[in-house]
Amino acid sequence: MRGQGRLYKPQGCQRWWMDYSLDKTRHREPSGTTDRREALRLLRDRVGKREKGELVGRPDRVVFAEYVQGDDGKDRLVGGLRALVEQDYRLKGRRSLDRVQGALAHLETFLGRGAKAPTITTARLNAYAEQRLAEGAARATVNYEKAALRRAFRLALEQGLLATMPHLKTAAVENRRSGFFDEGELAALLLELPPDVRGLVQFLAVTGWRRDEARLLPWAAVDWEGNVLRLESARSKSGEPRVFPFRLAPPLKALLDARWEAKDGLYVFHRNGQPLGVGAIRSAWKRATRRAGLVGRLVHDLRRTAARDWRRAGLAESDIMALCGWETREMFKRYCIRDEAALAQAVGRRYGITAAQSGAPVASGPELS
């Protein structure tokens, strides 16, 4: 009947599509089913919502990415789902803008700039995931890319550009942290590193800070009078400022003294006055781990190791989180940090044996090799 919309199948498509009008604007969107009765039921639901004023959006006008050519001849992103996400990240000051842009670039390559929102179906995104995995992308990476697209659709819903979105299910990923260094492994690793990278690794092994938090640490953050490291919120991944007292940590103080003697520019860890580059760290790390027989170990394992060593030294979880920069206990737990001494004492209590009776050594804090 006129005004009730219609069903049709695009050439080469097995699923039914819906065609209806809203405020004299024509809408086409997939029903997601090959069953005509189910598609008709969904169409009637759409028409009913339209008549009640509940249906919004112009799905046939929303594309993945819309560009215009600037005066310099380069394309400039001006609209579409991709632009919604990038704008949202900029407005919120998210530090991971570069990463989400990379994720959206992969999606754009597969879907195409002008891909209309109704054509970005669950089946098509499953095909995208299969292709990315075949290319060697990690499952967690593919999940992140799909999550970026899900954010784009949700923003479009919030702004009334769309009324529906595809179901974007991400695969379960076991991403629990587990790698640690023992004292001998760390000593062997340090011997194989060049002096400038060695200092950075020593620092990470004690503080448990993230690589770039230490790599870009300026001398202005070292409070010599108060014997405290001060990490500004702008340089912290969590966005929260952090302090790390070093007056009662002789190995850390000695390291900072040595770095001061080699001072050349604004940064604590540098090469020719410039902060150590990520590429230089990666190449030095890869070479050193191979020579030390530690292939496959990660720089991030130093963060796990530091947290474990502070826990063994008797620090409370809340103190370790404050020193190393974890915001929530849930994130801290993902690093598989266990108070092994406390567990050993618990086992001993089962048999009536105390730590003193067992002759167990007293745990010591982190050391620098």
pLDDT tens for each residue of 122-147: 888 889 999 999 998 888 889 999 99
Tokens of 40: 């008709």
For residue 195, count CB atoms less than 10 angstroms from its CB and return exposed for 0-12, middle for 13-18, buried for 19 or more. Answer: exposed
Interior angle at CA 117, CA 116 and CA 120, nearest 5: 95
Q: Which residue has the higher pLDDT, 287 or 161?
A: 287
Task: Please report the pLDDT score of residue 363 as a whole number.
Answer: 45
| CA dist., res. 274 & res. 267, Å (int) | 7
Per-residue confidence band for 369, with pLDDT thresholds at 50, 70 and 90: very low
367/181 Cα distance (integer angstroms): 12
Q: For residue 235, what pLDDT is reported?
A: 77
What mean pLDDT is predicted for residues 107-115?
93
28 phi/psi in degrees, rounded to 5:
-130, 130
pLDDT at 335: 64
Note the pLDDT of residue 104. Answer: 95
Beta strands in the chain (DSSP E): 6-8, 17-22, 25-30, 66-69, 75-79, 222-223, 228-231, 242-245, 270-271, 274-275
- Mean per-residue pLDDT for 101-123? 91
Q: 336, exposed or middle or buried, with CB in 10 Å at 0-12, 13-18, 19+?
A: middle
- Pairwise CA distance, residues 170 & 173, whole Å: 9
Q: Which one of 237-246, 282-291, 307-316 scores highest in mean pLDDT? A: 282-291
The per-residue pLDDT of the chain, averaged, comes to: 83
Q: Provide, rounded to the nearest whole percent, the portion of the chain with pLDDT above 90.
A: 41
Closest to 306 in 3D by CA, of 186, 222, 175: 186
pLDDT attached to residue 178? 59
Is the pLDDT assigned to residue 261 strictly greater than 60? yes
Per residue in 159-207, pLDDT (tens digit) is: 878 877 777 776 655 555 558 899 999 999 999 999 999 999 999 999 9
Which one has a higher pLDDT value, 147 or 1?
A: 147
C-alpha 174, offset from chain centre: 14
